Amino acid sequence: MMVDGDRAVQEALRGKEGGGGGVYMMMPVAPWFFNNLPGFNKNWLWRGDELWDVRWAQVIEVQPDFVQILTWNDYGESHYIGPVIEKELGLFESARAPVNYVKGISHDGWRKFLPFYIQLYKTGQVPAQIEEGVAAYYRTAPALVCPSGGTSGNDEGHGEVEVPPEQLMEDSVFYSALLSSDEGVTVTVSIGGKELTGGFNRVPAAGAGTPGVYMGSVP
């Protein structure tokens, strides 16, 4: 995802603020999107493999007036970051979902670096003290392990060109690490008992060796 659209909105609204209209920009941040809810005529996904951390980096770059997290508990669209409350999952029955694709699937790890991101967004400064940590996420099955169930990649109803969903999904384990520096850091991920060595393909805006969130994936 690029920031061109965000910049265009920001520029369009900037001229209205001086007119006393109180027009402000709210920039959304979401981890990923998938739904299969026939009762609502919804069955598509959007690419989101590294979107959560990439989008926060864009927020810090663009500096909108407000940030909206999409979402805390929208289970049907899979972009919840809050805890899974099983008594709230009746949607999957009422919307005739072929399977409850949220039950037992925690997204809690996406909240791990929120204090860091929020402070950096609000102050423009990396916190003096960083609580280092790592978060990883992945789909529980390869993209082609079973039929798609009619799910499309992208949605024609949003003016997009639909593609097979596997074209938008990588069969990888994605990880983010909040570090004071990546110097001397090695990444090892075990998949099916096989250890794979990874690296970082995205580094903080100030560059490698500086404090911030580093991202990567394997294989």
Q: Is the pLDDT of residue 19 over 50?
A: no
Does an H or E element contain 120, and which?
helix 114-123
Report percent pLDDT > 70 for the chain: 96
Q: What's the pTM value of the predicted model, to 2 decimals?
A: 0.90
Report percent pLDDT > 90 for the chain: 84
Check residue 14 and give its pLDDT.
78
Average pLDDT over residues 83-94: 96
Chain center to CA of 182: 22
| C-alpha–C-alpha distance, residues 213 and 187, integer Å | 14
Could you tell me the pLDDT band of residue 90, with boundaries at 50, 70 and 90? very high
| Lowest-confidence segment of 13-17, 193-197, 200-204 by average pLDDT | 13-17
Q: Is 52 helix (H, G, I), strand (E, B) or coil?
A: helix
Could you tell me the pLDDT band of residue 16, with boundaries at 50, 70 and 90? low
Beta bridge partners of 215: 176, 202
Q: Is 53 exposed, middle or buried (0-12, 13-18, 19+ CB in 10 A)?
A: buried
| C-alpha–C-alpha distance, residues 38 and 65, integer Å | 37
| Lowest-confidence segment of 2-11, 12-21, 139-148, 204-213 by average pLDDT | 12-21
Q: Is the pLDDT of residue 203 over 50?
A: yes
* Cβ–Cβ < 8 Å for 92, 119: no
| Structure confidence by residue, pLDDT tens digits, 105-158 | 999 999 999 999 999 999 999 998 899 999 999 999 899 998 899 999 999 999
